[in-house]
Structure 1
């Protein structure tokens, strides 16, 4: 791939292709966040599904990370990333559009929701792996934190606006018709990505390459790196309990607290403000406290606020749910910006797809399990009890980090892929203060 020189001092927003990538992310994320509210409400309000079926729907959305997560990375490393993302967006747009069509014609069933969730999830696996592998082709290494911060800002902004819009659309149009927004968002995302002009050559394939060998190489790289191992364990644990939350929050807010769809959207939108604040602050916090320290400090400080979820009550008491989520998601986004930027820096370009896929398999593979557990707990003991277990889990999430070498570090080692991943990282604890990451 041709190497296009970029001024070291220019920010990522000066690059036209990066702005188009951001615009695509904004369109896709806004639609997805509307569906985050609308899809469970289709099951709860339109099809009157019990809590376990709502949990099963959440599991179907994320099952693809277990089913195709590892081979997807090997396939992505053999393909051009941009065309793959465009195709994934088109598949997601068409699949989501089938829900309002089925609702209007009176043939919508839970079985269709499961299929739509599964197909969309598979397309999302390929899109996300390609997206994280494509970003380092657009930006130099010293701008990856700023670039990831900008993408997290877009995602968090969509989390603020999307649920409120989604709740309002559900109340005005019905849950099924509100999903049209998601289909339109994916279509717009494909259009923005199609306009990106970054040159991208087809990755060279070694003569002895095989799917099994490629998957093994990605696994060995991740599992052989002590810092990536602990990040995988911690994020997998956090995602497990995040899935418990996703599987139970709609049931809790509608059936326990008695909120109407519009208010549900506002509660979820208010909670997402914390994620937006985290995206805006991540670079400055990394500069002040150190990127390594930020990885364990952010979940340690914010995790206990998850205890506010089961304490939420009727009326104004629902604000506790929003407050708890806002603080927790602040920590989640700060953690994500720090650890994703490190992953993109430490990995050689030819392994980016497999590294991201391996980590997604290990970290996101816990999502369907958490969703099933959350649905089962809510069905058996009630949604509030499920949230108690969920909150306790978030408090425990930083334990692997506190027991790892990261606790003794301030900054992450600036090791290239050729260096020994098991070299003692404590040598970097006294590294000079980094420049502001923006």
Structure 2
């Protein structure tokens, strides 16, 4: 008898989604691995890295109205129209190679701003697609596989490839990322006209445009599990963004290595091995220890990541912190995504996804700018410790509180019987 993972792989839609996801994730890994290095290589500090990061994420502030367009057009049509525009944005970023001085950072920021807008739409549609074309009884295994290939591509292969390509030619990682996105687009093409990925109408929806746009937020807040996830992620995502903004200049200035860029790329790739194993084990851990208990422990690891990084700007603490973050994310995302898909009606899939991202990622531009500026002014370590405290507080308000509520409810049921 085939294992659940093998049975999921035998599904042709799952295989096609794995191909599209892996190419897109490898492109993102190369791009996101090379971009902060390119800024730092041009002399940028934490503030400049934070500004470029903010340009990438600022569009999540308007993710809810954009997600309403995804639900209105349908996932297939959205991917068909929006996905190619990411390639154009990458070519703009690649043009920084022919610009001299600080103006090159401005070019990268402009390209990142354009990429971020299109990526919000494309990512919302691509994230909603599996729930529409994969059977519900395969959700855990399918999302585990998608996330595994994602981690292999954007953690193991992408960062080191981006660093090596950047050393070869400044434009090369961004052009190669564009070519990989073109391959991903070809893999998604089967779903452009698939009826399952077409617009899903709901006769039960009423009200004006504001009511429809915020329908995803109401759905998230009305569901206790989704509400707990969002509250937890609010602090965890802030902590992870602080780590992402400061780790490059932190390691550059404190490691004392001339090959710091390549070393950091290899460290990021090394964390992918543990992340891949974790993603493949996520479903089994949830069945063995329950989904809520697994997520509670995972959240603790994610919250402590900045504190580990604050120990020293040397390779071992950096490796430890990034490994903890990668493993925590690899366990968290498949378990949460599959449960969100189960709890969300098809006509709200894109808006629910965008609502969760808006509530959690809406703080990222502010976090990138303020965190990078404070780190440059007072030092990296105080900012990292503050991020860890904020993440622990969000865990207490979110998934740990939900776990306690579930435990008390089960005890009450047993006592009643």
TM-score by length of 2: 0.89
1:376 is aligned to: 373
**Contact 1:243 1:368 (C-alpha < 8 Å) held by counterparts:** no
**Contact 1:286 1:294 (C-alpha < 8 Å) held by counterparts:** yes
| Segment drifting more, 293-302 vs 394-403 | 394-403
Identify unmatched segments of 5+ residues in structure 2.
none
**Contact 1:242 1:367 (C-alpha < 8 Å) held by counterparts:** no
Q: Does 1:14 align with 2:20?
A: no
Distance in 2 (alpha carbons) for counterparts of 1:282 and 1:373: 34
State which of 317, 321, 325 in structure 1 corresponds to 2:322: 325
Distance in 2 (alpha carbons) for counterparts of 1:382 and 1:64: 28
**Contact 1:26 1:154 (C-alpha < 8 Å) held by counterparts:** yes
Q: Does 1:136 align with 2:134?
A: no
Q: Does 1:71 align with 2:65?
A: yes
Cα 1:355–1:168 shift into 2, 3 Å: same
Task: After TM superposition, give the deviation of residue 403 of structure 1 in Å.
Answer: 4.8
State which of 166, 169, 180 in structure 2 corresponds to 1:170: 166
2:264 is aligned to: 264
**Contact 1:23 1:189 (C-alpha < 8 Å) held by counterparts:** yes
State which of 168, 175, 179 in structure 1 corresponds to 2:174: 179
State which of 230, 233, 236 in structure 2 corresponds to 1:232: 230
Alignment of 1:25-424 (within 5 A): 25-46=21-42, 48-66=43-61, 68-104=62-98, 109-158=104-153, 159-174=155-170, 176-196=171-191, 198-200=194-196, 201-204=198-201, 210-259=208-257, 260=259, 261-301=261-301, 303-313=303-313, 317-401=314-398, 403-409=400-406
**Contact 1:55 1:372 (C-alpha < 8 Å) held by counterparts:** yes
Distance in 2 (alpha carbons) for counterparts of 1:373 and 1:280: 36
Task: After TM superposition, give the deviation of residue 10 of structure 1 in Å.
Answer: 7.7
**Contact 2:26 2:158 (C-alpha < 8 Å) held by counterparts:** yes
Identify unmatched segments of 5+ residues in structure 1.
1-7, 411-423, 431-438
Cα 1:203–1:50 shift into 2, 3 Å: same
**2:398 alignment partner, SS class:** helix
Alignment of 1:422-433 (within 5 A): 426=410
Give the aligned length.
404
Distance in 1 (alpha carbons) for counterparts of 2:413 and 2:303: 25
Cα 1:87–1:429 shift into 2, 3 Å: farther
**2:214 alignment partner, SS class:** helix
Task: After TM superposition, give the deviation of residue 109 of structure 1 in Å.
Answer: 2.8
Task: After TM superposition, give the deviation of residue 20 of structure 1 in Å.
Answer: 1.6
Task: After TM superposition, give the deviation of residue 213 of structure 1 in Å.
Answer: 2.1
Task: After TM superposition, give the deviation of residue 177 of structure 1 in Å.
Answer: 2.9
Residue by residue over 1:122-157, the C-alpha shift from the partner in whole angstroms, topping out at 9 and shown as x without a partner, is: 111112221222111211111111111011101111
Task: After TM superposition, give the deviation of residue 378 of structure 1 in Å.
Answer: 1.7
Distance in 2 (alpha carbons) for counterparts of 1:427 and 1:347: 28
Task: After TM superposition, give the deviation of residue 359 of structure 1 in Å.
Answer: 1.0
Aligned-residue Cα RMSD (Å) equals 2.6
TM-score by length of 1: 0.85
Residue by residue over 1:172-222, the C-alpha shift from the partner in whole angstroms, topping out at 9 and shown as x without a partner, is: 223x43222221221111111113474333333769664212113222222
